[in-house]
Structure 1
Amino acid sequence: MQPVPTRPAGPLKVTGVALAQVLLFVPVILVFVLIVVSSVLTVVWVGMLLLLGALPLGRLIADAHRRMAAAVTGEPVPAPYLPLPPGPLRALRARALDPASWRDLLWMLWAMTGGFVLSLLVFLLMIAVVTLPLWRYGAVPLMRARSWVDRAILSPGRTEALERRVHDLTASRAVVVDHSAAELRRIERDLHDGPQARLAAVSLSLGLADDLFETDPAAARRLLNEARGTSSTALGELRDVVRGIHPPVLADRGLTGAVSALALDMAVPVELALEVPERLPAPVESAVYFAVAECLANTAKHAGAAQSWVTLHHDGALLRAEVGDDGRGGADLRSGSGLPGVAARLAAFDGILSVSSPTGGPTVVTWEIPCASSSPKTTRS
């Protein structure tokens, strides 16, 4: 991720950026020539080997100028590149087909001509005493002009944004489909191992009782009592399975009430700050509820925490959530199945999840989901 400066840079800072860009002028030329020559030579294997090194170098230089443009304008300049598949040849093909790679070439043409002239002019205005007033008032506008052109070329265009969106949706859909299939298998297994087996026992007991009703009424009565007890147990297990699909408290009390109920069941004290004044769409409420439940379960199992907290805030268009604890830390979004599963569930709603969990703690899981309320009814914990 690009760093986000707190404010635009002043004359001295932009002059330092200009000097860095002037010094990078020769590397930009060399990499541009290397990429062009390598592309021509791809008809033979030497060109492919050269491209394996040239395209990553081009991205490194472009990333450096994105950071410099962000430093001058005070706004981040995100990289537009699509994710790379594993393997050098597949990665090379992905880079070569990525429109952002060729936008980098277009930017290099600008950086070697108009961009270089602007950066050099800013630096030269500073080193000449007679032009210091011009430098004082002109350095920032000149560098902002260069930086905005850099930003326009190096940041994601409409095509890249749509392609990334399609890529993200395809990946999240595949994960959600897998998750849904796993959830269906879990429900089937829970029904098979619990209520289904007990209902089969009830049926067997009723059949035996019917056979014994005339010859041994006492034994038939005992079987009926057993069947009643078994059916009550099966009903309880069936309620547990349904509760795992969509908790009744979530339907009755909404998201804030359901999260409050989760907090009450925790052995670790949970501080709540729930600002969700309206009911949200049921699928979103369910996804957020299970995300909070998974995070709190991780806290109880692994964190060794003395305190945890849950924050929910809905501003009418975006739901922001945070679940944290003061435990030992070490949570990793890339390992296990809990947090990746949460991320996949939220990705289906355009949700973005991040984890901060340094060794020694604290662990903070945050996510954002764009969503509007589904009704004007107010629900508070």
Structure 2
Amino acid sequence: MGRVDGSTSGQLRQRLRPGAVIAAQGLLIALLSLTTHVALFVLSVVSLALIPAFGVGFALFPAVTALVRLVTGLHRRLAGWGGVELASPYPPVPADAQFGTWRRFRWVVTDPATWRDLAWLLPGAVTGGVCLAAFAVPLYGLEGLLGLPVVLHAAGVWYGYGPFWPVGSLDQALLCFPLGALVLAGGLAAGRWLIWLHVTFAGFFLPPTRTAELALRVRQLTVTRAETVDAQAAELRRIERDLHDGAQARLVALSMSIGLAEQLVQRDPEAVRRLLAEAREVSGQALAELRGLVRGIHPPVLAERGLDGAVRALALAVPLPVEVTVDLPGRPPAPVESAAYFAVAEGLANVAKHSGATRAWIRLRHADGRLAMVVGDDGRGGADPAAAGGLAGVGRRLAAFDGTMVVSSPPGGPTVVSMELPCELSSPRTSPSSGTG
């Protein structure tokens, strides 16, 4: 019997938890809408009106627009709580577009997103204010469910639970329990719908237009192309440097040893044997360096065993337990596979060098046309993807394939690096998941 009660209590908590998120989201949307929208709309109209009169609007309107964009940015974040992503539509600010200049004013007024934001302020205030019900109604139902009317009645305080439900007796106070449960359930259901309505309405104004999306996409591709070209040039310089300082120097030494052996072959056979032994050792070192260089370009294990086997081989080389889970019904294209391999390799290298972790895990999965990779550890955290280093290089490598990387590494851990690459798989096969420790 106790187990049933505990299970029921757990299910209730699981249902109330998303309900609390909905209520909090509704409260924040309502507060943001009711406190800022009307004021910002009035300020925008006044600043525009001051342009022909005194000219101060040239400086005031861009400043008000910056505040409007701050508020709409907060609305986009709140929409993300509900799983609706609204991308920012604003182009980057030109370097010479300082506040108070004609360049800044012209940049603001020629941006279609400026007028879409202003057109949304008043309607958004209405739909955002209605979202207050997503917080108030469940809170009102929770009062009855928790027995607040009963407590107030016992204390001799008159309490009206509902506009038509004055609590004048104990029976009326006790009836607030089922009434509160109904109000709470109805409020949570209605709150979800109200927030959806507000976010959907905002989706007509706040995201970028099709033209703006294409312009943003072109800028993004321009940046990633430049980064890819720089990364390729740096990689070529690294290969050239490794060849010059490593294998080439050893091959020169090998050639000199063989030439000296040719001169001594008749006079000092014992010295020739020593020179040939040294030459054999140098040739082995040169071969090992060449193999290491080849592995850095495209590891043979990746070509032979695919991404699944190559990642498991990486996990075995890490000096701590690594759990590997792979769900790949095929193989990605070779360039994508190579980028994924080196991204996971860099993540594991950071785990081994900097994390102080006791265990790590790797998750690889392909779904909806995207290869998702997760490298995590239970270490000290504090990884910074913005700092110049391995993670920054991984981000540039993935961006070349339109991929993304998100790092979650709070102080004290854990560190979770989530990466995605858009791709399709070929050569379907069945590969069970397993752990590698």
> Is TM more than 0.5 here?
yes
Matched residue, 1:352: 404
Q: Does 1:28 align with 2:40?
A: yes
Matches within 5 A, 1:95-174: 97=107, 101-112=111-122, 147-174=199-226
**Secondary structure at 2:278's aligned position in 1?**
helix
The CA distance in 2 between the partners of 1:302 and 1:377, in whole Å, is 36
Matched residue, 2:378: 326
Matched residue, 1:221: 273
Matches within 5 A, 1:295-314: 295-314=347-366
How far residue 167 of structure 1 moved from its aligned partner, in angstroms, is: 1.6
| Equivalent of residue 79 in structure 1, options 88, 113, 123 | 88
Residues 97 and 104 in structure 2, CA contact (< 8 A), matched pair in contact too? no
The CA distance in 1 between the partners of 2:131 and 2:75, in whole Å, is 16
Q: Which amino acid aligns with 1:313?
A: R
Residues 25 and 78 in structure 2, CA contact (< 8 A), matched pair in contact too? no
How far residue 104 of structure 1 moved from its aligned partner, in angstroms, is: 3.2
CA 1:357/1:83 → structure 2, altered by over 3 Å: closer, same or farther?
farther
**Secondary structure at 2:203's aligned position in 1?**
helix
How far residue 295 of structure 1 moved from its aligned partner, in angstroms, is: 0.9
The CA distance in 2 between the partners of 1:359 and 1:209, in whole Å, is 61
Residues 287 and 346 in structure 1, CA contact (< 8 A), matched pair in contact too? yes
CA 1:25/1:255 → structure 2, altered by over 3 Å: closer, same or farther?
closer
**Secondary structure at 2:205's aligned position in 1?**
helix
CA 1:346/1:111 → structure 2, altered by over 3 Å: closer, same or farther?
same
Residues 122 and 143 in structure 1, CA contact (< 8 A), matched pair in contact too? yes
The CA distance in 2 between the partners of 1:100 and 1:6, in whole Å, is 41
Matched residue, 2:98: 89
How many residues align? The count is 365
The CA distance in 1 between the partners of 2:99 and 2:250, in whole Å, is 53
Q: Which amino acid aligns with 1:81?
A: Y
How far residue 336 of structure 1 moved from its aligned partner, in angstroms, is: 3.0
**Secondary structure at 2:204's aligned position in 1?**
helix
CA 1:176/1:6 → structure 2, altered by over 3 Å: closer, same or farther?
farther
Higher Cα Rg, which structure: 2
How far residue 271 of structure 1 moved from its aligned partner, in angstroms, is: 0.8
CA RMSD of aligned residues (A): 4.0
Q: Which amino acid aligns with 1:148?
A: T
Q: Does 1:60 align with 2:60?
A: no
Unaligned stretches of 5+ residues in structure 2: 1-16, 137-162, 165-186
- 1:223-251, Cα deviation, whole Å (9 max, x unpaired): 23322221122111111111111111111
Matches within 5 A, 1:252-331: 252-315=304-367, 317-331=369-383
How far residue 180 of structure 1 moved from its aligned partner, in angstroms, is: 1.4
Identity %, equivalent residues = 46
Unaligned stretches of 5+ residues in structure 1: 131-135
Q: Which amino acid aligns with 2:89?
A: P
Residues 325 and 362 in structure 2, CA contact (< 8 A), matched pair in contact too? yes
Q: Compute the TM-score of the two structures, normalised by the length of structure 1.
A: 0.80
Q: Which amino acid aligns with 1:62?
A: T
Deviates more, 1:183-192 or 1:225-234: 225-234
Q: Does 1:188 align with 2:240?
A: yes
